[in-house]
Amino acid sequence: MPTRKSSSYYWVIFCLSMVLTPPGWTQRRPDEPQVDPNQLNAEGVAATEKGRYEAAVKLFHQAYLVEPDQEKLVYNYFTSLVNYSIFLAEEGKASAAIEACSQAISLFPREIIVASNLAIFFNNEAVKFLENGDLPRAIQSIENSQEVVRRFQLLQAADTINRTHARIYLMQGRGWFKKENVKNALESYDRCLRINPREIEAYVDRSRIYWEQGAFKDAITDLEEVLRIRGQGNSPNILALINRIKLEAQAAGQPISDQSEFFVLEMRGGDQTTESKIRRLLRDTRLKIARTLQVNPKSEIHVTIDMNQPLVRVAEWVNIPAVEFYGESFEVGASGVDPESRDFREALTYNYVLTLLVNLGGREMPYWFAVGLAHRMTSDLESHLSIRDQESLLAASENNLLLGTNRLSWSNLENMDDTQTLRQANLESIGLVDHLAGILREEGMGTLLKAVRDGLRFEDALVDITNMTPEQVEEEWQNSL
């Protein structure tokens, strides 16, 4: 039996324990079991040592809810989330890994290095898949890495990850080339260079294809880009190759000076480096459109880039009538815009395609087709209308408010200042061309445009190729909404 003195001692200890117990732990309803955060912390540490990261996270989380201000416990919780995020990434559960990483950083917002580690982990995984020739999994891993970069704005890690991403498309291009699928190979090289404009091997590979196709000037332009990146003194083999292509072009009766780029570029403001970037981008845009639509302009298009005017982004063109295009020239503002940015590339593509179509068919080229195809070519997406836009068009269709191909004309929209009607006109145009492209595919679209270039009226060419008039295409599209 304890003595009176010892009983008093235990009573004091009990009272002290009540005072020192963290708030929230003992302040529970009588029917709730008491939770000891220190015990949970110890169990979490033990689980971590055994590699049971999910269990450790749950234990630390329970303890954290009770004592969110205990530094050691919070740090253990943070560390367990970091470990768990890497474990999930290794298991192929990217979304869960990114979420765990987000929770970890919410505990220590300055520890952004944790997100960088996760991004690099996915990047290294992509490299491993790339080395093993598993391109689909390499692309998935690098997209996971880029998602981490976007979410946490990891600008320093972005360069490393972009280089890996570009290499994946470089290898994909080589794979297509081995299969003699030149079109897909070129598209892969294009994507590689859009991601990393300094990927030398992509320029060399692409120049070989241009050379074999007799596009000597384009082949040399790519090799000259290699010289610019490396420096002429470091590239004797490239210089020798350029001279060889020039001799072959001359022997074929196609001197380089006679080969047209199909455009004339004028810069207002900007330095020589910026002009070089834009010229390369414009040339690549022209080549991509020529491959996809199988046509080049009848005459050179004059392109003006004004570095003192703001860029009009493609999303803004949905509310603007495209009536200023006459098939000879277009102008793009570029004030404060990176020429290699997605916004600038899309705006350049939109303007180029719209001008090209009017160049081929004049104002006889239907407004709806020109505008719809210009929007379509700015994106690799299957559908070029948002869900909201599709719902808007469906509502207009159900209420017989669609404008229809007859009213989607240059003359009808030329002086219109009703933004809502203009937006609907352009959305209808996008929807109509998306539907028509589904019928014709790329080859059929190219055949249609070549017929127009050769002098056939658009409507007649459409009937010849699809056995459908524009009104029948419109009716079928409306029924598909």
Q: pLDDT digit string (tens) for 6-34?
A: 333 333 323 333 333 333 333 444 454 56
Are 306 and 219 found together in one domain?
no
> Helices 272-293 and 182-195, interaxial angle, to 10°?
150
Are 212 and 311 found together in one domain?
no
In contact, 297 and 261? CB cutoff 8 Å: no
CA distance 407 to 215: 41
Look at the chain and report how many structural domains it folds into: 3
CA distance 393 to 385: 10
Residue 12 sits in a domain of what CATH number?
1.25.40.10
CA distance 375 to 322: 11
CA distance 66 to 45: 17
Are 298 and 204 found together in one domain?
no
Residue 137 within a domain: no
In contact, 437 and 376? CB cutoff 8 Å: yes
* Of 307, 313, 305, residue with least CA distance to 280: 305
Residue 54 within a domain: yes
Question: 246 lies in which domain range?
Answer: 198-254
Are 238 and 358 found together in one domain?
no
Cα radius of gyration (the chain): 31
Are 87 and 213 found together in one domain?
no
Query: What totals of helices (H) and strands (E) does the chain contain, helices first?
Result: 21, 3
Residue 429 within a domain: yes
Q: Does the pLDDT value for residue 294 go beyond 90? A: no
Structure tokens of 434? 């998306």
Are 233 and 281 found together in one domain?
no
- φ, ψ of residue 454 to 5 degrees: the values are -85, 5
> What residues contact residue 222 under an 8 Å CB cut-off, 6+ apart?
203, 204, 206, 207, 210
| pTM (two decimals) | 0.69
Last residue of a domain, one of 82, 111, 140: 111
Residue 380 within a domain: yes
Are 384 and 307 found together in one domain?
yes
Q: pLDDT digit string (tens) for 390-439?
A: 888 999 999 999 999 999 988 888 778 888 889 999 999 999 999 999 89
Are 232 and 355 found together in one domain?
no
Q: Does the pLDDT value for residue 303 go beyond 80? A: yes
One-letter amino acid of 65: L
Lowest model confidence (mean pLDDT) among 97-111, 181-195, 334-348, 379-393:
379-393
Q: pLDDT digit string (tens) for 231-289?
A: 877 788 999 999 999 999 999 888 887 777 889 999 999 888 899 889 989 988 998 89
Pairing outcome for strands 329-333 and 263-268: unpaired
Alpha carbon separation from 130 to 164, 171, 172, 291 (Å, rounded): 9, 8, 10, 28
Question: Per DSSP, what are the bridge partners of residue 332?
Answer: 305
pLDDT of residue 22: 39
pLDDT of residue 197: 86
Are 390 and 248 found together in one domain?
no
Are 314 and 360 found together in one domain?
yes
CA distance 315 to 367: 18
Lowest model confidence (mean pLDDT) among 15-19, 35-39, 204-208, 270-274:
15-19
Last residue of a domain, one of 211, 228, 254: 254
Pairing outcome for strands 329-333 and 301-306: parallel
Q: Does the pLDDT value for residue 351 go beyond 80? A: yes
Are 79 and 204 found together in one domain?
no
Residue 132 within a domain: no
CA distance 129 to 140: 10
Residue 424 within a domain: yes
Structure tokens of 333? 């503002």
pLDDT of residue 34: 62
> What residues contact residue 193 under an 8 Å CB cut-off, 6+ apart?
166, 199, 202, 203, 206, 284
Q: pLDDT digit string (tens) for 89-140?
A: 888 787 788 888 888 888 887 777 888 888 888 888 888 889 888 999 899 8
Residue 212 within a domain: yes
Q: pLDDT digit string (tens) for 434-467?
A: 999 989 887 889 899 999 999 999 999 999 999 9
Residue 445 sits in a domain of what CATH number?
1.10.390
> What residues contact residue 347 under an 8 Å CB cut-off, 6+ apart?
311, 312, 313, 314, 332
Q: pLDDT digit string (tens) for 128-138?
A: 889 888 999 89
Residue 190 within a domain: no
List the beta strands (DSSP E) in 158-298: 263-268
Are 46 and 88 found together in one domain?
yes
Q: pLDDT digit string (tens) for 133-169?
A: 899 989 988 988 888 888 778 877 888 888 999 999 9
